[in-house]
Amino acid sequence: MEAAQRALDEDLQSAGDITTRALIPPGTRGRARIILREEGVVAGLPLVSMVFRLLDSKVNFQPLVSDGDHLPAGSEITVLEGPVPAILEGERTALNFLQRLSGIATLTSRFVALAAPHGAEILDTRKTTPGLRALEKYAVRAGGGRNHRFGLHDAVLIKDNHIAAVGGVGRATKLAREAVGEGQSIEVEVQRLEDLEEAVRAGADVVMLDNMAAEEVKEAVRSARGRVKLEASGGIDLENVAAYASAGVDFISVGALTHSAKALDMTLDLERIS
């Protein structure tokens, strides 16, 4: 609710919608439909409902599909009925959320379709829009992906700068294990095959193979021999994700799911009913 209210406040400010106020009498009622203009996966319908509920409880929101549904172009997503001023005030905010989250869900679904036949799960990253991480990670799940850590607070991920700061992969892994104990999973990022063995011996649970070519990843899978979970990351796109998945990794993390997803095209069409 906080994100929806913040977005409405940004758009309306203290003056409200001065165009709608000038043109539309307060009692005017209408019916609106949100329609997909291109094929994709829908995500964000509860947020749309919240936007209009915050504006006017008299707006009736009727979803015609569910989040996670993969739909063809031309599909009607929802019907809104109620005061026209509230529908117009919320139109852009609702569409911004719905298009953004549906774009993420759609892109995620494409990665999942290419990776799943090889047994690899698609993960997101922390490369999210500030303040919207929970929503964007929700959209990843709607598209069939899985969430990586939500923040620095909930998982240990030793990256290259941590390793540089403490003086090596093995030392960083051992220090982390001593600090968090055996109950906490530890993931270590490596950029060279020789560091993989060091991370495994030091007790890593997951090793992230960062910016390695697909052939190097295949070699890492052979080297690890199931002793540790492996995640491929860096430079992975729709063109090469199947090659990385077929190399045998458990996970593939893709920052583009949230930082480069194209908004899904849709429109809100309004008709006056009284």
Q: Could you confirm whether 58 is annotated as catalytic? A: no
Grade residue 111 by pLDDT with cuts at 50, 70 and 90: very high
pTM: 0.96
For residue 43, pLDDT beyond 90: yes
Print the domain residue range for 203.
116-259
In this structure, are 91 and 68 located in the same domain? yes
Average pLDDT over residues 35-47: 98
Per-residue model confidence (pLDDT) at position 1: 78
Per-residue model confidence (pLDDT) at position 151: 95
* CA separation for the pair 87, 215 (Å, rounded): 53
> What CATH code is carried by the domain that includes residue 192?
3.20.20.70
Nearest CA to 240 among 103, 145, 115, 144?
115
Catalytic residue among 92, 110, 141, 149: 92
In this structure, are 51 and 130 located in the same domain? no
In this structure, are 144 and 97 located in the same domain? no
Catalytic residue among 91, 136, 187, 189: 189
Q: Which residue would you say has higher pLDDT here, 248 or 182?
A: 248
**What does DSSP say about strands 29-36 and 70-71: parallel, antiparallel, or unpaired?**
unpaired
Q: Could you confirm whether 189 is annotated as catalytic? A: yes
Q: Could you confirm whether 265 is annotated as catalytic? A: no
Instruction: Indicate the number of domains in the chain.
Output: 2
Average pLDDT over residues 131-159: 97
In this structure, are 123 and 243 located in the same domain? yes
In this structure, are 143 and 217 located in the same domain? yes
Catalytic residue among 127, 146, 177, 229: 127
Look-up of token digits 């940004």: 10
Q: Could you confirm whether 92 is annotated as catalytic? A: yes
Q: What is the dihedral of CA 149, 154, 156, 161, to 10 degrees?
A: 70
In this structure, are 35 and 123 located in the same domain? no
In this structure, are 251 and 161 located in the same domain? yes
Grade residue 15 by pLDDT with cuts at 50, 70 and 90: very high
Per-residue model confidence (pLDDT) at position 274: 81
Residue 204: φ, ψ to 5°:
-65, 145
For residue 162, pLDDT beyond 90: yes
